[in-house]
Structure formats: C-alpha cells, structure tokens
Structure 1
Amino acid sequence: MSTGLIIALIVIVAVVAVAAALLMQRSRGSRHGVGLKRRFGPEYDRAVARHDGDTKAAERELAGRVERHGDLRARPLEPAERERYEARWTAAQERFVDSPGDAVAEADRLLAELAGARGFPDGGQYEEQLAALSVHHAHHVEGYRRVHRVAQARAHGAHDGGAGT
C-alpha cells in the first residue's frame, strides 16, 4: 500500500469518527430535552416561556433542579401526623364557604408545612421548595403556585389576588 493511500484512509476514518461523535452528542442532547419535557410537563413549557423561548436555558435550569433535588426521597408521614394534616385540610375546606381567603391562606401554610414534613426544603424557602416539588410532582406544582400567589396577594392587601372564589 502506498503512503498516499494510507494517509487518505486515515483521514477518511478520522472524518467518520468525528461525524459519529457529533451525531451522538447531538442525539444525546435532544433526548435529554425530550426526557426533561416528559418529566416536567407543563413546568417545562413554563421554564421555556420564562427564558423567552430559549430551550437550552430552560433545560439547563430544569437539569439543575434535577441535580439538586433528584435524589430527594420523600419521607412517609407517621399515622398520627397524617391524621393531623387530614384534619387541618378538612377544616380548611369547611372554612372555604364562609371565609375563602382565610381558607386559601391556611391551605398555603398547610401545603408548605406538609412538604417540609415530607423532607422537601422548608416552606420558608418557597422558591427552593417549589423547585424540589417540581422535580417530583411537576404536574401538580402549578396548583401550589396558584394557591401561594393568591394567599400572598391577600396577605399584602389585595382583595383576592386576582382569583375569584
């Protein structure tokens, strides 16, 4: 075999190897995005919107949440603890008819306390608690966000936080 042919074969092999590596990298990145979209559902769309349509920035944010909170394992409640939370939830629901604002405020406190009791970040760190909850309960976190927003608006003097009964 001539030297020119050997060099040509080496160049062809190198080009094919680089092209394969690039395709694998690109494929892995798109699967990562699809996995995040599946895992986070509506929270994925919310993150993309918050980043003005920049999916890479949204995916970096969501991947960071998974890295920080993905290993978190919710601890089960003791039966007595569970009963106390259920009783408070029932009382908040019953109060809603006569005092919806107070009931929503109690529901917000209850959700934050319950998440803390289950091992999520403390309710005093709302954004971090929300981030952790979004990793494990992404399809429910928007409801928590809405309750919190209404409760906070009411606490700061707004009549109903922009939400009706």
Structure 2
Amino acid sequence: MTDVKTYGFKNDWRGEIVAGEPLHEMWIRITVDDDLVIHDIEAATDHSPYRICPDIVGNFERLKGLRIVGGFTNKMKALVGGTEGCTHLVELMGPIATTAFQTIFPLKKRREKTPEEIAAEAGQPPKRPPLLDTCHAFASDSPVTKKNWPQFYTGPQDEA
C-alpha cells in the first residue's frame, strides 16, 4: 500500500515530505498451504509518518499457523490489532486473505471430487455449496448459480 499526497507538508520525524513522496508505503507477503494455513509471513513498512511505525512489523509473525477460514479476521485482529499492529497492515490482510482463498479454492476443487460427486456416490442429495450467498455473483438467484448449481438456484424459472 502506498499513500502519496499531491502537496508537500512538514512531518515531525521526516521533515519535509514533498509532493509524490510516500507518506505510507508498506506491504505484506504470506505463504499458505492448500488448507490455507499461514506458514510464513513478512510485513514491511518502508515509509511511515512516525519513526516507531515499523517497530511492530515483527508482530505479524504471530499469524503463522492461523488458517484462513471463517472467523479469520477476528482471530487476526486479536493477534495484531490495535496497539499490537498497524491499522494499515491489518486492513491489508483482508484482501490478502481473500486472494489466497480465491487462489487455493479452485486448485483444490480441480484435485478433489466435487460435493455433488461425493453425495451421488453415497446415494445422498448434493450439499449446498458453501460459496452460495457469499457475494453478488454467488447469490442463490444469480445466473452464475443457475449455471453452476441449478439444483440450488432460487431465481425465476424460464418459461418454456
């Protein structure tokens, strides 16, 4: 995340920050496995408004072993939120977690049997996909759901 201003201003720690120079510049990199467990994390604050801001980047190592599943955000904030972290770095973890999930989920789906295949083999009705109703595209009445999970589609039926 980089935060630049179109104007210069004084800063108590850095002196004059000129237009276009980052006030904040920070990043996070995580390494996850196929189960979305964080095995490594590196956080950095390359530019900040205060000298002490980078002092907490090491706290993000507390996230090692945490799994990106429901409740992740609350657990993450308990470990590195408030004075134990940096608002900007904590907020960056949301999109990072989403990206990790969106990267790993389709990969696992290609490797594993679908819930529909497992249910069919067991002679059971298919289970409702966990992605349903988690966003606009996966709404139970969306065309995406109608195409991918027609048995769970709740929108208007085509008239024939």
Q: Is TM more than 0.5 here?
A: no
Structure with greater strand percent:
2
TM-score by length of 2: 0.27
TM-score by length of 1: 0.26
Structure with greater helix percent:
1
